[in-house]
Amino acid sequence: MLRLRKFEPSDIEKLHPDVIDTELLTSVEYCREWAEYNVLHGPAYTALIRDRIVGAAGIRLHEQNTGILWAVFTTAMRQHVKSMLRSSRALIAILLEEFEITTLYAESRKGFAASQRLLEHLGFKRTTDETSTHYFYKLEV
């Protein structure tokens, strides 16, 4: 069972060596900056299994009731996909209501099919916008 607690920027250093998407967090220095930015811009949570950090996620809040979902998971999360999906759905629903978010965005690196499947399982729809490296997704409430 996943346990959630408030995300702390130092958590990213525990995630970094074992992330699923190795292109996301390329260096420990970048990880620290990325984590601090996310904490400053919205709610964020750390997922633990038996006191081991296995993931982190949050929403960067933007104007006009919008936000951007971010998440990073370790390879250990692959063994707990159903629990992660249930927890993610519940947390997203709570945060959408609490922060009055009507549109939530996410991006997924091309070639990272697991990320795209996860977003679709969470109810996101892929938009027609994309870059050479990323697809963009949208969840409307």
Domains of the chain by start residue, with CATH: 3-140 (3.40.630.30)
b/e 5-16 (16+ beta carbons within 10 angstroms → b):
eebebebbeebb
The rounded average pLDDT for each run of 10 residues, N- to C-terminus, in the chain (141 residues) is 88 75 65 86 93 91 93 85 89 94 94 91 96 94 84
Whether the full predicted model's pTM is greater than 0.75, yes or no, is yes
pLDDT in tens, 28-63: 677 778 889 999 999 999 999 888 888 899 999 998
- Give the integer Cα–Cα distance in Å for 69 and 89: 12
- Give the integer Cα–Cα distance in Å for 41 and 82: 28
